[in-house]
């Protein structure tokens, strides 16, 4: 099928609730390698938007591990097999105490959905506190705790069992400046008093919120407040885990915080469907008190082979350190460009998780939504793929596969410089 036929067939047979990137000029992707995607004509695109192929698109070591295991056997966790035990050991060794008990699932949504069940089993409470603009997944239960969805297009508003705390955005949020952490923590405390929730869910660095790096002390203070109110602190690392932030393997560590539950997805299997919930022995014991947990595909031998291969590649290719070095180079380049363009209100990020907030007026910080749309389109014409997000869709999101190099960063920075007024 050519590109036009593909689009027509999609339109005929797939729900129109699914979107297509660059609808005026969609990309018919046939191959990926490292930080590059290739279309049906062999045109190469620099992928700065896909954090799922974490160690690189179609990494040969992950492909080989999955294929080898698929050819041997694929079954479920009611059998004993080495991959499951080895993977649970390796993954928990990479997490701080007391996060030592895992359950494997098939996606970030499944991980957060299971976290919700664990919270209810542990606390007996149904109420949940969440950050404004957060996204935690596509199931009914998770749309309910995702302001990005329930307050967004087609959403039906905040359900009564959910409390929303402000987005900890020191640039354009309710409280501004590097010292705004304590004021955001107080907001969490106030919300917890209002509703006595079972959990406080947080994205340690917010994605749909607009690539937010919270102010110092926020996450640790908010988790402490949650525990003091009898709630479970949940860190959703589905977007940002596994070394992307550079200075640590997990973003919550870069914030000096430790959750009671961490949920993992996306990069964990480098595009193989895999997710995990890792929690404390206490929360795990509350969950294990009643019905059996069975998940047909979660933690299958093939899924574990994918997860193990990702950990091996991360270590062998020192990709966390690479993210730290290249991320710092990218941020420095973008900050230099920001000096020349009033439209760049803020450049922020950690490692290879970076945001550029575009504004029409640097004083009022008015979101430049249309400019962000035009910049994404202009970069696509240069075969550079970025996306945009934030409550006003004016934040350019950069979260490439980790092999993204300093030369790629220079190319991206130069293109942004060329296309901004």
Ligand X SMILES: Cc1ncc(COP(=O)(O)O)c(C=O)c1O
Q: Which spans of this chain sit near ligand X (rule: CB under 6 A)?
A: 107-109, 112, 135-138, 203, 207, 236, 238-239, 265-266
**Least distance in angstroms from the C-beta of 42 to ligand X:** 30
Choice between 275 and 345, CB closer to ligand X? 275
**Lookup result for tokens 């407040």:** 225
Choice between 134 and 375, CB closer to ligand X? 134
**Least distance in angstroms from the C-beta of 178 to ligand X:** 24
Choice between 135 and 250, CB closer to ligand X? 135
**Least distance in angstroms from the C-beta of 419 to ligand X:** 27
Choice between 113 and 368, CB closer to ligand X? 113
Choice between 136 and 388, CB closer to ligand X? 136
Tokens of 249: 């393997």
Residue nearest ligand X, Cβ-based: 108
**Least distance in angstroms from the C-beta of 358 to ligand X:** 21
Q: Are the C-beta atoms of residues 349 and 358 closer than 8 Å to each other?
A: no
Choice between 53 and 108, CB closer to ligand X? 108
Give the CA radius of gyration of the chain. 21
Q: How far is CA 399 from CA 82, 180, 265, 341, 349, in A?
A: 33, 26, 15, 22, 10
**Cα separation, 412 vs 386, whole angstroms:** 10
Choice between 115 and 409, CB closer to ligand X? 115
**Lookup result for tokens 């908010």:** 222
**Least distance in angstroms from the C-beta of 164 to ligand X:** 16
DSSP secondary structure code for residue 252 in this structure: H
**Least distance in angstroms from the C-beta of 391 to ligand X:** 15
Choice between 116 and 368, CB closer to ligand X? 116
Q: How far is CA 257 from CA 97, 219, 312, in A?
A: 12, 6, 26
Q: Helix H segments across 151-260?
A: 181-195, 218-228, 251-254
Q: Are the C-beta atoms of residues 141 and 132 closer than 8 Å to each other?
A: no
**Lookup result for tokens 């006003």:** 392
Q: Are the C-beta atoms of residues 112 and 329 closer than 8 Å to each other?
A: no
Tokens of 256: 């000096």
**Least distance in angstroms from the C-beta of 240 to ligand X:** 8
**Cα separation, 262 vs 283, whole angstroms:** 12
**Least distance in angstroms from the C-beta of 262 to ligand X:** 12
**Cα separation, 120 vs 31, whole angstroms:** 43
**Cα separation, 268 vs 255, whole angstroms:** 21
């Amino acid at each position: 099928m050519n590109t036009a036929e593909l689009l027509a067939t999609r339109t005929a047979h797939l729900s129109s609730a699914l979107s297509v990137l660059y609808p005026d000029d969609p990309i018919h992707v046939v191959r990926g390698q490292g930080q590059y995607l290739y279309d049906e004509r062999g045109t190469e695109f620099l992928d700065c938007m896909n954090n799922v192929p974490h160690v690189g698109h179609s990494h040969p070591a992950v492909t080989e591990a999955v294929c080898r295991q698929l050819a041997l056997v694929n079954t479920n966790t009611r059998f004993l097999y080495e991959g499951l035990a080895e993977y649970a050991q390796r993954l928990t060794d990479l997490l701080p105490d007391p996060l030592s008990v895992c359950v494997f699932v098939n996606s970030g949504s499944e991980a957060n959905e299971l976290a919700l069940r664990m919270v209810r089993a542990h606390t007996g409470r149904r109420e949940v506190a969440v950050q404004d603009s957060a996204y935690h997944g596509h199931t009914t239960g998770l749309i309910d705790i995702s302001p990005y969805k329930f307050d967004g297009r087609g959403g039906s508003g905040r359900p009564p069992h959910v409390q929303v705390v402000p987005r900890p955005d020191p640039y354009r949020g309710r409280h501004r400046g590097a010292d705004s952490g304590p004021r955001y923590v107080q907001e969490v405390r106030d919300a917890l008093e209002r509703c006595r929730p079972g959990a406080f869910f947080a994205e340690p660095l917010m994605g749909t919120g607009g690539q937010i790096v919270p102010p110092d002390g926020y996450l640790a203070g908010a988790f402490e407040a949650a525990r003091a109110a009898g709630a479970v602190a949940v860190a959703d690392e589905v977007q940002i885990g596994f070394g992307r932030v550079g200075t640590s393997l997990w973003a919550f560590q870069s914030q000096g915080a430790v959750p009671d539950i961490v949920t993992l997805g996306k990069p964990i299997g480098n595009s193989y469907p895999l997710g995990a919930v890792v929690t404390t022995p206490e929360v795990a014991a509350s969950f294990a008190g009643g019905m059996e947990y069975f998940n047909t595909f979660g933690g299958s031998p093939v899924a574990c082979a994918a997860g193990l291969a990702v950990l091996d590649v991360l270590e062998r290719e020192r990709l966390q350190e690479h993210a730290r070095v290249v991320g710092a180079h990218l941020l420095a380049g973008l900050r230099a460009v920001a000096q020349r363009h009033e439209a760049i209100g803020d450049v922020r990020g950690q490692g290879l998780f970076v945001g550029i907030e575009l504004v029409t007026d640097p004083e009022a910080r008015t979101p430049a939504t249309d400019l962000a749309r035009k910049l994404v389109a202009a970069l696509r014409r240069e075969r550079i793929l970025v996306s945009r997000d934030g409550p006003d869709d004016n934040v350019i999101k950069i979260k490439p596969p980790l092999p993204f190099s300093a030369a790629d960063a220079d190319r991206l920075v130069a293109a942004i410089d060329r296309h901004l007024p």
